[in-house]
Chains A and B, each alone.
Chain A
């Protein structure tokens, strides 16, 4: 707890309050899709800073390379070709990765104490030393982000460079982006920046331009400026209205204490029934009857 930026706001599988006396500012990364040229410098920077090297895969017929996130590729560029009457062919490129939800579905689903941490600054981080490899984070995530390593069965994803942020640096992808498409700062500042950019885009004819900071997960600490914010799904399936699935909320919600109470009630009910009603023993009459029957047999 030495680093103020690493104060904890939420901890997986922990029912008591984490320490949060100190207040830190919330950070956010803003990805301006309209400025992205798809160069993948962010992918490279992510690999370099985090000491990752994915296996060489195969070409899927598009620029998507690798074709999906893995335990070694925490961010990937997704290239969508979208045709509309209004604008003809558009190439919508989105840098995919963890959205760092304010209300993280992964953390809600995780059964292992301290395997998933949400810092006070908003970063959601996986602590692999506490990860048991069950994959519940995958089940809980509304954005299909966590990946389980085939080698060590631990879950991995973008850390928003929590190690860099902790010492006052911006995430590696932000540092390297050549077009200024990715910005980093306080969430408030990033929203302001987005507002300016959205106004600019609207002026230039993208009347549905807007900020993607979905309220269904309490907002995110990775936000997008989308030139078509009315249809996020155009951007390689970015969820239109992401929320923690109702099945996950039910699985991880009030049903847990309810089930625990039910189990305890069954066990205690048995004990008190025994103590109050006594055992169900064979009656003396039946015993005598059986004796008689056996006597008669002889």
Chain B
């Protein structure tokens, strides 16, 4: 693909790398976590060198994801404050999903859906990290009473399932809205893409 010099920079190299570290960790965590979540998916442990290795690796990958997620969280936090217009967007999201985005309010760098996802993921990572520490038998479980460990196991599973669903939506949205994935691959989007989907951001960066 020949890139147009008039394309707009959406993410710099460091932001992209940060996102991919989190993304790769998430995929590893989802696969290894699902392997231990449901008997039908236990064969996924084969991807990690067997059940024991899956159990050993999962929490360490989790810590890496959490660290890089925290960096990403603080990088993008100020861009993800919900506004009145964002709620308006969320209310009309169904129209857009049905294929008509003519009545959608103008969005800044992120739309209401992206912002809600951002905050949900922030909460999910927090809960998953905290509960993950509690149920990390090799190092930490001994410091917690059994009732807390049981709640930890329950919360860890519940938030993991919700987060997997949220990320499926996140990835699908990027595939569905054509011209989006390149923003995370090499950082730029076309002007037309920006004007169509994030008009307020388009005005802000182009001055039009």
- Given contacts A263-B164, A282-B196, A134 and B36 within 8 Å (CB-CB): yes
The reply to whether B99 and A113 form a contact with Cβ atoms under 8 Å apart is no
30 A-B pairs (CB sep. < 8 Å): A13-B42, A15-B39, A15-B40, A111-B37, A132-B54, A134-B36, A138-B141, A139-B135, A153-B52, A247-B147, A247-B153, A247-B154, A248-B150, A250-B154, A255-B158, A260-B40, A270-B175, A273-B172, A277-B97, A278-B99, A279-B175, A280-B101, A280-B178, A282-B178, A282-B179, A282-B190, A283-B196, A290-B190, A293-B206, A294-B6
Total of A-B residue pairs, C-beta within 8 Å: 134
The reply to whether B150 and A266 form a contact with Cβ atoms under 8 Å apart is no
* Residues on A with beta carbons closer than 8 Å to the beta carbon of B177: 279-280
Q: Mark B173-207, 1 if CB is under 8 A from A, else 0.
A: 00111110000000000111101110000000010
- Range of interface residues on B (Cβ < 8 Å): 35 or more
Interchain CB contact (< 8 A) of B165 among A134, A255, A266, A282: A266
The reply to whether A266 and B51 form a contact with Cβ atoms under 8 Å apart is no
The reply to whether A139 and B146 form a contact with Cβ atoms under 8 Å apart is yes
The reply to whether B157 and A251 form a contact with Cβ atoms under 8 Å apart is yes
- Given contacts A133-B137, A134-B55, A139 and B168 within 8 Å (CB-CB): no
The reply to whether A245 and B150 form a contact with Cβ atoms under 8 Å apart is yes
Nearest CB to that of A260 among chain B residues? Answer: B38
* Residues on A with beta carbons closer than 8 Å to the beta carbon of B190: 282, 290
CA distance A148 to B139 in the complex (A): 12
Judge whether A259 is part of the interface by a CB distance below 8 angstroms.
Answer: yes
The reply to whether A135 and B161 form a contact with Cβ atoms under 8 Å apart is no
CA distance A136 to B179 in the complex (A): 45
Q: From residue A133, how far is it (CB to closest CB) to chain B in Å? A: 6
Judge whether B208 is part of the interface by a CB distance below 8 angstroms.
Answer: yes
Of A135, A136, A267, A280, which is in contact with the most chain B CB atoms at under 10 Å from its CB?
A280
- Given contacts A282-B178, A282-B193, A266 and B52 within 8 Å (CB-CB): no
Judge whether A62 is part of the interface by a CB distance below 8 angstroms.
Answer: no
Interchain CB contact (< 8 A) of A251 among B56, B97, B150, B196: B150
- Given contacts A112-B42, A139-B150, A132 and B52 within 8 Å (CB-CB): yes
Interchain CB contact (< 8 A) of B172 among A14, A15, A109, A270: A270
* Residues on A with beta carbons closer than 8 Å to the beta carbon of B2: none
* Residues on B with beta carbons closer than 8 Å to the beta carbon of A286: 192, 195-196
Nearest CB to that of B101 among chain A residues? Answer: A280
* Residues on B with beta carbons closer than 8 Å to the beta carbon of A287: 192
Judge whether A90 is part of the interface by a CB distance below 8 angstroms.
Answer: no
CA distance A278 to B98 in the complex (A): 10
The reply to whether B54 and A262 form a contact with Cβ atoms under 8 Å apart is no
Among A123-150, those with CB < 8 Å from B are 130, 132-136, 138-139, 144, 148
Q: From residue B196, how far is it (CB to closest CB) to chain A in Å? A: 5
- Given contacts A255-B158, A277-B97, A289-B195, A111 and B146 within 8 Å (CB-CB): no
Judge whether B149 is part of the interface by a CB distance below 8 angstroms.
Answer: yes
